[in-house]
Amino acid sequence: MKKILFVALAVLGLSACNSGPEFKVEGEISGADGKMLYLEASALEGIVPLDSVKLKSDGTFAFKQACPVSPEFYRLRVDDKVINFSIDSAETVRFNAPYTDFSTAYTVEGSANSVKIKELTLKQMQLQTNVNALIQSMQAHKIGTDVFEDSLATLMKDYKDEVKINYIFAAPNTAAAYFALFQKLNNYLIFDPLNNKDDVKCFAAVATSLNNYYPHADRSKNLYNIVIKGMKNTRAPQQKVVELPTEAVSETGIIDINLRDMKGNMHKLSDLKGKAVILDFTIYQSAVSPTHNYMLRDLYDKYAGQGLEIYQVSLDADEHYWKTTADNLPWICVRDANGVYSSIAAAYNVQSLPAVFLINKKSELSARGETIKDLDAAVKALL
């Protein structure tokens, strides 16, 4: 217990003001008589408990804490219900919330950034609801896999465009912009700072602003390191030549692929001759990856017994993340260490990810995703 307390104090000591100004968090939680309300810091190192109070019948509460030297994130928690907010000065932030819909029906005053954080939270929750509904419709066979993929892509594009314009680029020097960068869908970052060049630009905009205002803050340094890594991963190699295996093309009718799985075993795409194959290029560390794999799993479970195989090529920058995620998938999972600048993906003219191709039993390229109106029917026709 003493060790835990020491770590907590050490974390707070890094961000607390030397002169002692404080911020206040107060308000009222209705319908929570006898419940414990916790004030916690959402630090880079994880969640750090700061204070707590047992709520009485009137639900009122008041916390005081040393103000941070740069914008920081905190949360109020009752049971597993959470309200996220930010503090950037010696301010007073007031919350009013019902216990039942604690995380969504609250009001906040005294912090413009915290108002924006609430807006972002509600938008993210609605996005998750819409994506879950898509998955359920596909699994119930109410919509085809093509409609599922198109609808998912539209949902993601619309969400990211709105957040980029209204929350990130509109005010990159705010805590709300930083919060937007790290929102998640299916526990994956919606904005991918390691594999997506456009998303790296979002991180760079916020990193530059934070560095200008708070160059010595831990969050500024951490964000800067993420941007540097993302720029390195997504920077096009100079004079990169795409080498096509012409012999494989003439012999099999496809551009052959020979990559290692997570155990180090080589897998040639051409060795699957005699099976109908879904060739899939993807990034596992992407918000759309789980829903895309749900769709593939639905097809695999339905048609694997009839001769379907999936050959999935990861273009993830993070090899460990790929291994961890792909470990439970039942099909062939390999990785191209060249990432988004894979010569193989270029040879297949992959324009966006994920990208699906169909290969028939003669090992001939049959169709690519954007030309397929009904993926289920197209796969069935190959069997």
CA distance 140 to 31: 38
State the pLDDT at residue 18. 44
CA distance 280 to 301: 16
CA distance 362 to 366: 10
**Mean pLDDT (10-residue bins), the chain, 383 residues:** 40 48 97 97 95 97 95 97 95 97 97 97 96 89 84 94 97 96 92 91 95 92 93 70 45 80 94 95 91 92 96 92 90 92 88 91 88 89 94
State the pLDDT at residue 86. 97
Cα-based angle 187, 180, 313 (whole degrees, multiple of 5): 45
Nearest to 102 by CA among 38, 57, 184, 23: 38
Residue 370 token pair: 């954007």
State the pLDDT at residue 244. 46
- Homologous superfamily (CATH) of 258-381 is Glutaredoxin (3.40.30.10)
Give bridge partners of residue 62 from the DSSP assignment.
Answer: 26
State the pLDDT at residue 237. 62
b (16+ CB within 10 A) / e for 260-272: ebbeeeebebbbb
- CATH annotation of 22-110: 2.60.40.180
State the pLDDT at residue 353. 87
Q: Which pLDDT tens digit goes with each residue over 59-81?
A: 999 999 999 989 999 999 999 99
Asked if residues 287 and 131 have their Cβ atoms less than 8 Å apart, the reply is: no
Q: Which pLDDT tens digit goes with each residue over 21-51?
A: 999 999 999 999 999 999 999 999 999 999 9
The domain limits of the chain are 22-110, 118-234, 258-381
Q: How many CB atoms lie within 10 A of CB 290?
A: 16
How far does the chain reach from its first CA to its final CA, in angstroms? 61
The CA distances from residue 83 to 203, 213, 301, 314, in Å, are 24, 26, 40, 36
Asked if residues 36 and 53 have their Cβ atoms less than 8 Å apart, the reply is: yes
